[in-house]
Amino acid sequence: MWNNLPESQKQYYQKLILSFASLSEAFSQKAESEGDTENNTQSKVAPIVNSKFQETVFQRSFGAYGEDIGNTSYDASVIVDEHHKYLVGLKSFGIGSGDQKIAQFKRPQTELGWRRIFNEITDNARGLESKTEIDKINEDLYRYLAIEISKLRNQRIASSKENLRGFTINDETYIEAVYHFLMPSKKENPPQIFVGEVPYYDIDIDNIVIEGCTSAKKPMNFKFHDGRHHYKYTEADSQLLMTFDKTPLDIWDVHYVEDPFSIFAEIGNASEEIEQIEAENQLQIVDSISWKINLQPVSGFNQFMGLPKNSTGSIQAFINTINKDFSDVTGISELVQALTSFKETYPNKSSFEKYSTRKDIMNLCISFANFKNVINNDGIPLKIPSYPLVDLAIKYLFRSPNEIYIPIPKSKTFHNTHPNFFGTGSGILNGSTFELPLSERQFKLEFLPSHTIVDAQITQENGKAIQSSGNQDILGNWILQKVFQLPEFTPLTDERLIEMELNGIRLTKFSDLDNHIGLEFIWIDDDNLPSDYWN
C-alpha cells in the first residue's frame, strides 16, 4: 500500500506526523542528574506518535475514511484508484518493543468455556519444571485454543470486511488488508520515526504450528504460527498478540523545536474558529437509541425458522413438475423422495407447528440445501429462472433463509414517545396500527460504517419490525451471512453474539433528511449502558 499511495499525500502525512513529534520534549520530563544539559536532552527523549492523532492524520492525508466503529477490525479504508483499495489497521509502537496486541477475546474466554481449558492446562503443568514437558502434555489443549481463537479472529475480520463492503461494492471486488505502523526510535538513539507495513492476513488454520507455552512459569500463555505470522495468546488479559516485521519502508528524522510551548499558545488562539468551521460542516445527529438484541426462536432475526408459507397441495404440484420435467437429472429421485417424506410427515401447517422444533427445522433446511451438492442444475429450463432447482424446492418448503426483521423493543411505547424518529408523523399509532399508510413510512437506512443505503420501513403490529422495503432478503443476507458470518439456515444465537462481540443495535437519526437513519451493530455492557439506551 505504502508504495502505491500518492507521493504528495505521503509527504503531507509525514509533515503532520513530524510536526507533532517535534513537540515531544513538551511531554517528556528531562533527566535531573547534574551532568545533563540542554544539548544531550534530545538524545534522551523518544519521539512521540499519538495513536489517535495518527488515525486522524492518516484519514486527512490520504482521503481515508475512519472505520474504528463498533467491532470493525480495521481503522481506515483507502481507495487509491480502481485497482488499489485497502482496509488498514493503524498502529504505533517503539522500534524496540515486542509483540503487539491485535485482538482481545475477553467475553469468549469467560463465557464460551475457555476458562475450563486454561484450568486444565494449569493442572497439567503443576509440578513440572521443564517447558518441554509442559508443551508435550498440553499440546492438544493449546491446539484446540489456537484453532478456536483463529476461527473467531477470521470471522471478525470477515464481518468487518462485509460491514465496510456494504451493498454497493461487487462481491468480486478485491480489497487488500494491511497493517500500517509508525515506530519511534529508542530514547538513547537519534530521534527518528520508522514507517512499516505488513499484510493483514487471516490466520491459516490448516497450517497452525504450536510453539508451546511462553515459559514454564506461565503455562497459560502460549505461542503459535501459521507460516505467515507468529502469534501469542495471553490468558490474564485475553489478548492475541502478533510479531511484526519491523523492516522499515521509510525513515524520517525528527527535529525537536526549541520552544514547544509557544507553539501551543499560537494554536490556542485559532482553535475557536476551527471548531466553528468543523461544526458547520459536520452532519449533525438529531437523536439516537440503542438496545440489546433479544433473540427469539422463530421471529425477528430468526424469522426464517417460522411456519412454511406453502400448502401441502402446492408441494405435491411441485413434485409432479419435477417428475415430469426433470426425471433424467442426476440425483433428482433423492430430492423427490425427501419432498414426499416432508409432505407426509407434515400434511398441514398445524402439524408442522406442533411437531417441529427449532432444531428440526434447521436440520430439515440444511438437509435440503445439501442437495445442491448432488444435483446438476446446469441447463435446466426452470419456470422461475432466478431460482436453481434446489433453491426452488427450499423456497416451496421453507421461508427464505434471509427473511428477517429487526425487532424494536417495547415498540408501541417507543413510537408514542418518538413519533417523528423515522420521519415526521411516521410513528403515530391508532391503536396498534399506524395512521400513515406504508408508502409514507419509508425511510433511508444507512449501514454504518459502509455508508451504503437501502430503503426500509416499519411494519407489523405496534410497529415492532424494521424491514428492508420490497425485497426483505436484502437486510437478512447482510446481517446473518455477512455481519454475523452464519451459513444459510443457521439461527442467530446468544453464543454467536458473544463470539462476534456484537450484542446490540444503535439507530442514529441524522439532520440532512427527515427520514435518514443510521444502523450499526455494537456491544452493550450491562454495567456501563450507553446514554441513549432504550429500556
pLDDT digits (tens, 9 = 90+) for 4-48: 999 999 999 999 999 999 988 887 655 444 444 444 444 478 999
Residue 3 CB neighbours (<10 A): 8
Least confident of 73-82, 349-358, 394-403, 512-521: 349-358
Q: Which three cell numbers stand for residue 452?
A: 451504503
Same domain, 330 and 460: no
Q: How confident is the model at residue 283 (pLDDT cuts 50, 70, 90)?
A: low
Tell me: pLDDT of 385 over 90.
no
User: Does 528 or 322 have the greater pLDDT score?
Assistant: 528
pLDDT tens for each residue of 233-264: 999 999 999 999 999 999 999 999 887 777 76
Same domain, 220 and 345: no
The mean per-residue pLDDT over the stretch 161-168 comes to: 64
Tell me: pLDDT of 220 over 80.
yes
The mean per-residue pLDDT over the stretch 267-295 comes to: 68
Q: Which of 57-71, 249-263, 266-280, 347-361 has the highest mean pLDDT?
A: 249-263
pLDDT tens for each residue of 101-114: 998 898 888 888 89
Q: What pTM was computed for the model?
A: 0.70
154, part of any domain: yes
Q: What is the pLDDT of residue 384?
A: 36
Residue 254 CB neighbours (<10 A): 23
531, part of any domain: no
Question: Could you tell me if 324 and 334 are in contact, meaning their C-beta atoms sit under 8 angstroms apart?
Answer: no
Domain that includes residue 297, residue range: 285-302+403-522
The candidate with the shortest Cα–Cα distance to 518, out of 173, 63, 166, 170, is 166
Same domain, 192 and 250: yes
For residue 517, with 0-12 CB atoms within 10 Å meaning exposed, 13-18 middle and 19 or more buried, which class applies?
buried
Same domain, 106 and 223: yes
277, part of any domain: no
Tell me: pLDDT of 433 over 80.
yes
Tell me: pLDDT of 383 over 50.
no
Q: Which three cell numbers stand for residue 414?
A: 417507543
Rounded Cα–Cα distance for residues 367 and 360 (Å):
10
Average pLDDT score, the chain: 82
397, 432, 466 - which closes a domain: 397
**166-190: b or e for each residue (b if 16 or more CB lie within 10 Å)?**
beeeeeeeeeebbbbbbbbbebeee
397, 422, 450 - which closes a domain: 397
Tell me: pLDDT of 327 over 90.
no
528, part of any domain: no
Tell me: pLDDT of 158 over 90.
no
Same domain, 476 and 457: yes
Tell me: pLDDT of 390 over 70.
no
Same domain, 411 and 434: yes
Q: Which of 53-62, 276-285, 371-380 has the highest mean pLDDT?
A: 53-62
1, part of any domain: no
Same domain, 466 and 322: no
Same domain, 363 and 407: no
Q: Return the SS3 of 102.
A: strand
Q: CA–CA distance from 229 to each of 127, 149, 202 (Å)?
A: 32, 14, 10
Phi first, then psi, for residue 232 (nearest 5°) are -140, 135
Same domain, 389 and 447: no
Q: Element (H or E) spanning 345, and its range?
A: helix 332-345
280, part of any domain: no
Q: Could you tell me the CATH number of the domain that includes residue 460?
A: 2.40.330
User: Does 13 or 279 have the greater pLDDT score?
Assistant: 13
Same domain, 298 and 313: no
**479-505: b or e for each residue (b if 16 or more CB lie within 10 Å)?**
bbbbbbbbebbbbbeeebbbbbbbbbb
Q: How many domains does the chain have?
A: 3
Q: What is the pLDDT of residue 183?
A: 97
Question: Could you tell me if 478 and 162 are in contact, meaning their C-beta atoms sit under 8 angstroms apart?
Answer: yes
143, part of any domain: yes
Same domain, 22 and 155: yes
Least confident of 47-56, 168-177, 414-423: 168-177
Give the helix ranges, DSSP H, for 346-443: 349-355, 358-369, 389-397, 411-417
* Beta-sheet strands, E only, within 165-316: 176-184, 192-199, 209-215, 218-225, 230-234, 239-242, 250-253, 285-292
353, 380, 397 - which closes a domain: 397
Single-letter residue type at 272: E
Same domain, 367 and 488: no
Question: Could you tell me if 210 and 146 are in contact, meaning their C-beta atoms sit under 8 angstroms apart?
Answer: yes
pLDDT tens for each residue of 63-96: 887 765 544 568 888 888 777 788 899 999 999 9
Rounded Cα–Cα distance for residues 393 and 368 (Å):
8
- Starting at the earlier edge strand, list the strands of the sheet with 465-468: 285-292, 504-510, 516-522, 442-447, 452-459, 465-468, 406-407
276, part of any domain: no
Least confident of 266-280, 362-376, 448-462, 478-492: 266-280
Rounded Cα–Cα distance for residues 343 and 351 (Å):
11
pLDDT tens for each residue of 118-148: 999 999 999 998 999 999 999 999 999 999 9
Phi first, then psi, for residue 100 (nearest 5°) are -115, 140
Q: How confident is the model at residue 278 (pLDDT cuts 50, 70, 90)?
A: very low
